[in-house]
Amino acid sequence: MHINGVELHVEDSGGSGQAVVFSHGLLWSTKMWRFQVEALRGRFRCIAFDHRGQGRSQTTETGYDMDSLALDAAALIEKLNLQPVHFVGLSMGGFVGMRLGARRPELLKSLSLIETAADSEPFLNVPKYKIMSAMSAVIGIKPFVPTVMKIMFGRSFLKDPAKAVVREEMRGQLLGINVPGMRKALDGVITRKPFTEQVRVPTIVVSGEEDAAVVPARSRKLFEMIPGARFVSIAKAGHTSSMENPEAVTAALLEHFQSLS
């Protein structure tokens, strides 16, 4: 779909149910939501999209700051005439979601913020990520995949023999990253400013117990900022709980949606 001057890859299950829009985290794509879409598509219309520069969406020169990505998401919802939607965002997708919840509450029926926080990127992370980004432009992403896997996933997922196939799938997605787009998206994430606006829609904040990228304490601070919000902790999951413990994430989403029906 052509949205705000960029071609965005959008997947739509169709159907007449209430719409759920999924917004992925940095480095990933619509694929990180496949378990939730499979579980919910019979009762809900599930829409997942790739942010600019990531997945199968177009890489543009500009537009990677969180405010611009939120404008992309709002325009997508309006173009599909879906409002109000259940909006689900993980990490970077959560940065987008909280901006919609504060600035465009009429577009949302509910908000689910997963492994995300309202603060800026921790000071010590920024130079480390900038160095990795610069080096990836020269030598590619492959040397950094083991490190990124430890950032993105909890120890339970990384050590569980039953998760071996999913681990390889996620590792393959990292190896296939569009490096120029990834670098622009990463810069947008690590240079974001703290978010202090008031979210004005029913919200759950979900946190993986083993999340090392956005530790649960940071997610709890976000939860405390939102009146009436609920906090859900996901066992045996790190920074990508939608893939690590998909059943628990789907159950939390479904309970949240049904509480508002």
Q: Give me the domain span that covers residue 93.
A: 2-259
Nearest to 188 by CA among 88, 61, 23: 61
Under DSSP, is residue 108 helix (H, G, I), strand (E, B) or coil?
Answer: strand
How confident is the prediction for the chain on average, in pLDDT? 96
- What's residue 74's pLDDT? 98
Q: What average pLDDT does the segment 219-232 reach?
A: 97
How many structural domains are present in the chain?
1
CATH number at residue 175: 3.40.50.1820
Confidence of residue 16 (pLDDT cuts 50, 70, 90): confident
Whether 261 shows a pLDDT value over 80: the answer reads: no
The proportion of the chain whose per-residue pLDDT surpasses 90, expressed as a percent, equals 97
Question: pLDDT per residue over 81-135, tens digit each?
Answer: 999 999 999 999 999 999 999 999 999 999 999 999 999 999 888 999 999 999 9
What's the pLDDT at 15?
87
SS3 helix, strand, coil % of the chain, rounded to 5?
50, 15, 35
Question: Are 146 and 227 a contacting pair, CB within 8 Å?
Answer: no
pLDDT the model gives residue 170: 96
The pTM is what?
A: 0.96
pLDDT at 153 over 90: yes
pLDDT bin (cut points 50, 70, 90) of residue 249 is very high
Q: Is the pLDDT assigned to residue 22 strictly greater than 80?
A: yes
* Chain position carrying tokens 């504060």: 102
Give every CB contact of residue 119 below 8 A, 6+ residues apart in sequence. 194, 195, 218, 221
